[in-house]
Amino acid sequence: MNQEKREERLLRDLEAMESLQAESSILQFTTTGDPPNQYLITFQGRTIRRESSRADVSIEVGQQQCEIRLPYSYPRLPPDIRWTTPIFHPNVSFSGFFKLSDAGIQWRPEWTLDVVCAHLWDVARLATHQADAATNYAALKWLETPEAIVPVDVRSLRDIAQAKNPNIVRYQRKGASQPAPRASAADILYIDENTPLPPLARGDDADTLYIGFD
């Protein structure tokens, strides 16, 4: 990649990161370089803490930080990533170095850094891991216990944008005389590309709303 194209890509990454930061109460970042070729990412949310001298694992609200460097081989090759705060995750070494592929995330050169950060947030909140590539076996063992309810933080990284435009479908049964009530938390279903297809209901009286290509 020549210098001009590299600068264009770095500026596109910066634009994507600024948009992400504006839509998130979870992520903040600082940069180095002009255009930036190094980012320090801070995630604020529920995280896992484990005292080195004890086996106890606890969940608390705190910060996780990681450093993203964009070498000259980027974006043909993925960015270099290192967690700079302790993180309890099967695929992150104690030194903090991390490859996306270690957690089963296959790099795509068209990804901008906001996409990378979404995956890193999934790592920080233990929403994703790859058991057969584990380097932190204590974390892997903990994930196999009944106490491990993950992800430890259920929020989307773009939580501000999601709050403004939630994927909520409100319906009212045919013939109902009263307006549909305001939805409670239990009535809300978020639908995205990872939502499994439920069994299809049959019958004229079924409360069924089909959304999709079919």
Fold type of domain 3-160: Ubiquitin Conjugating Enzyme (3.10.110)
∠ Cα 197 149 152 (to 5°):
95
Tell me, what's the pLDDT at 93?
87
What Å distances lie between residue 205 and 98, 196, 197, 208, 209, CA to CA? 52, 23, 20, 9, 12
What Å distances lie between residue 195 and 198, 205, 211, CA to CA? 9, 24, 12
**Average pLDDT per block of 10 residues along the chain, 214 residues long:** 89 97 97 97 89 66 95 96 94 93 95 97 95 92 90 94 66 52 47 56 55 55
Q: Domain coordinates of the chain in residue numbers?
A: 3-160
